[in-house]
A and B are shown apart, each in its own frame.
Chain A
Amino acid sequence: MPQTKSKTILEVHQLSKHFSRKRGVLSAFNRRGGTIPAVDNVSFYLRENETMGLVGESGCGKTTVARTILRLTQPTSGRIEFDGRDITHLSDSELRPLRRDMQMIFQDLDAGLNPKMRVSDILKEAITVHERVSDAEVEIKSRLLLDQVNLKYSKLGSYSSELSGGEKRRVGIARVLAVGARLLVADEPTSALDVSIQAQVVNLLRDLQKQLGLSYLFISHDLQVVELMSHKVAVMYLGKIVEMGLTERVSGAARHPYTYILWSSLVEKHNREATQPIRVERRATWGVFDFERPARGCRFAPRCPVYEKRGRPAECTDPANEPQLRDVGGGHQVACHFPLGS
């Protein structure tokens, strides 16, 4: 299914977003000034009709990447290109027509569903936001949308508080489809749902991609769902992409120790007798990660089993020598001084 020759729809280049620590007028009293790098030099591209999975633990900057791409927050530096057009510095009014093409599904089921509006009003608002449409057409289009997301027409009269979680998610998807988006940034679209409903939504998103030729940036902490959905996967750790490549390669033949640990935690959870080729040092490998001040050099070094095993090599903590993404064959990129399997 990966269509290698199709057009690039989204390209993100050296994207960074730093949040300033300052808050309030009296921040001058605060000695610890400066910024928190939530996203640091992230680059990737997404082709049409393709899904890019973005995984990582909470706080690693996944959601910030999504919000920055949609320009819900202004990037500190870097460039975002949509359909070959640089949208990094567009003004709000210039952005509005672009919102037809790129949409976001929020983790919160209620985002965008005004509890005091009926489903029909919510859809009508979305349908008419970018073009003038007669009421009759709105009616037809609403029904079409409900068909697309497998909801009964009778739900048109419901308020969102009367809907179940799965139905809310479907209405949320119908709402972004109503605009006619080609790129969907889905931020944890299934994490608030029950297992059986999660499967429905995953199937729905996959079907919609096939039918409508959508492109997804699919953000999730659920590795299996990402594996199922995505053609490519990028793994983020503390604001940086540490590994990126085709899904099979990243999940099956991980080169970065962090990716390896992520996927092996999945295996561990499933099997009673866990198989552990690398002995992960249990004591020190988890803990608070200081998001505000990542480790100098390789950010993962403090948790890294390879770093320990190799006797703490100096280059891993050398601030001047932070590992950069480099190709290890077949479009598979990894940012590590000592990638696994080499």
Chain B
Amino acid sequence: MRRSTRVKKYIQTSGEVSDFSKLPLHKKFSIPDLLYVGYGLLIVFLVLVSYVLGAFNLLPNDPQQINMDMLMAPPGTGGHLLGTDFMGRDIQSRLILGIQAYFLPGLLAIFISLSIGIVLGVLAGYRGGYAETVITYFTNLVDSFPRLVLILLVIAAFKPDIYYIMMVMGITGVPAVANAIAGKIRVLAQKNFIEAAIALGLRTRVIILKHILWYNCRALLIIQATLGMGEAILLETSLSYLGFGVQEPTPSWGNMVQSGANYFMQGNFWPSTAPALAILFTILGFNLLGDGLNNMLEGKRSR
């Protein structure tokens, strides 16, 4: 047997056919997808735990205590697991507390995107006609604004408040949700699925709530929600850099990266890199969770 390239091996276990629902998890889904989702769930869990810890102030060190003797200490020194920042404050505690800045605003943004997006998506996909035309116009309109520019406009007009920002973020997230749901409904309609439900005599709200949203859009909504959380974190980070995010001394990952970055040129990477890595791993988690779930729930298993 030539082994010029990789040889693939296929095994029929025991010669018998196994039932899909009784297969062990690793045989039902592809290994990368399981890893993605496992990692993503771990991140979600950590974020939740951090939120609770921060909310009840159960932190390893006082996040606001300034220690001028120990500026920008490397990880592990003097009881600081992740070192200290440019004012000698404990990075680990500040990272945990930093979640507070995202959690509720992020949820608000997701809630706005999903709720408005669902209503518009269902209207556009199910009703069609003029509703669809108007909604397509609306989504195109929202998509015409670069998100950050719109936020700067709002900041200029009102004030740099995280809740205003997250509201804008929620609204700018509406088109993605609405288009995805409308698209899904169109696919279902093409398969005569909706007509069959109407012909059976089901009520419209049963068709929409049970058959469309619950059975066919739940995966999509979960994915949109996880992606939304990731976007909220990245957006706050960008705004922190621009000076409109969460203001010091309240920690957020964004303002930690930003303030730490001032010491970059001196070769002090850590105070900025620690929160940057936190952002990286968290967003990676949310994105991979979304992707993995999508592959699993939508049945994109390789044949």
A interface with B by C-beta (< 8 Å): 24-25, 67, 70, 72, 92, 96-97, 99-100, 103-104, 106-108, 110-112, 114, 116-117, 125-126, 129-130, 175-176, 179
B interface with A by C-beta (< 8 Å): 133, 137, 191-193, 195-204, 211, 215-216
8 A/B residue pairs, CB under 8 Å, sorted by A: A67-B195, A99-B200, A103-B199, A104-B196, A110-B193, A112-B197, A114-B211, A176-B200
Other than the given A25-B133, A72-B198, A111-B191, 19 more pairs (CB < 8 A) read A24-B133, A25-B137, A67-B195, A70-B199, A96-B201, A99-B200, A99-B201, A106-B195, A111-B195, A111-B196, A114-B193, A114-B211, A116-B215, A117-B215, A129-B200, A129-B202, A130-B201, A175-B200, A179-B200
By a CB distance below 8 angstroms, the chain B residues around A100 are 201
By a CB distance below 8 angstroms, the chain B residues around A107 are 192
By a CB distance below 8 angstroms, the chain A residues around B193 are 110-112, 114
Roughly how many angstroms separate A67 CA and B201 CA in the complex, as a whole number?
14
Chain B interface, >50% SS class: helix
By a CB distance below 8 angstroms, the chain B residues around A99 are 199-201
Closest chain-B Cβ to A87's Cβ sits at a distance in Å of 14
Is the beta-carbon distance between B133 and A103 smaller than 8 angstroms?
no
Is the beta-carbon distance between B195 and A72 smaller than 8 angstroms?
yes
Is the beta-carbon distance between B191 and A110 smaller than 8 angstroms?
yes
Roughly how many angstroms separate A24 CA and B130 CA in the complex, as a whole number?
9
By a CB distance below 8 angstroms, the chain A residues around B192 are 106-108, 111-112
Closest chain-B Cβ to A94's Cβ sits at a distance in Å of 12
By a CB distance below 8 angstroms, the chain B residues around A70 are 199
Roughly how many angstroms separate A142 CA and B116 CA in the complex, as a whole number?
39
Is the beta-carbon distance between A106 and B196 smaller than 8 angstroms?
yes
Residue of B nearest to A159 (CB): B21
Closest chain-B Cβ to A142's Cβ sits at a distance in Å of 15
By a CB distance below 8 angstroms, the chain B residues around A175 are 200
Residue of B nearest to A110 (CB): B191
Name which of B193, B198, B199, B216 has the most chain A CB atoms within 10 A of its CB: B199
Closest chain-B Cβ to A75's Cβ sits at a distance in Å of 16
Is the beta-carbon distance between B191 and A108 smaller than 8 angstroms?
yes
Enumerate the 10 nearest inter-chain pairs by beta-carbon distance, A residue then B residue, closest first. Answer: A99-B201, A112-B196, A111-B192, A111-B196, A116-B215, A106-B192, A104-B199, A108-B192, A96-B201, A129-B201
Closest chain-A Cβ to B23's Cβ sits at a distance in Å of 14
Roughly how many angstroms separate A96 CA and B203 CA in the complex, as a whole number?
8
Roughly how many angstroms separate A100 CA and B201 CA in the complex, as a whole number?
7
By a CB distance below 8 angstroms, the chain B residues around A116 are 215-216
**With A67-B195, A106-B195, A117-B215 known to touch, is A112 a contact of B200 (CB < 8 Å)?**
yes
Roughly how many angstroms separate A96 CA and B195 CA in the complex, as a whole number?
13
Closest chain-B Cβ to A103's Cβ sits at a distance in Å of 6
Closest chain-A Cβ to B192's Cβ sits at a distance in Å of 4
By a CB distance below 8 angstroms, the chain A residues around B202 are 125, 129
By a CB distance below 8 angstroms, the chain B residues around A67 are 195
By a CB distance below 8 angstroms, the chain B residues around A106 are 192, 195-196
By a CB distance below 8 angstroms, the chain B residues around A130 are 201
Roughly how many angstroms separate A24 CA and B216 CA in the complex, as a whole number?
27
**With A114-B211, A114-B215, A116-B215 known to touch, is A92 a contact of B204 (CB < 8 Å)?**
yes
Residue of A nearest to B214 (CB): A116
Closest chain-B Cβ to A280's Cβ sits at a distance in Å of 35
By a CB distance below 8 angstroms, the chain A residues around B195 are 67, 72, 104, 106, 111
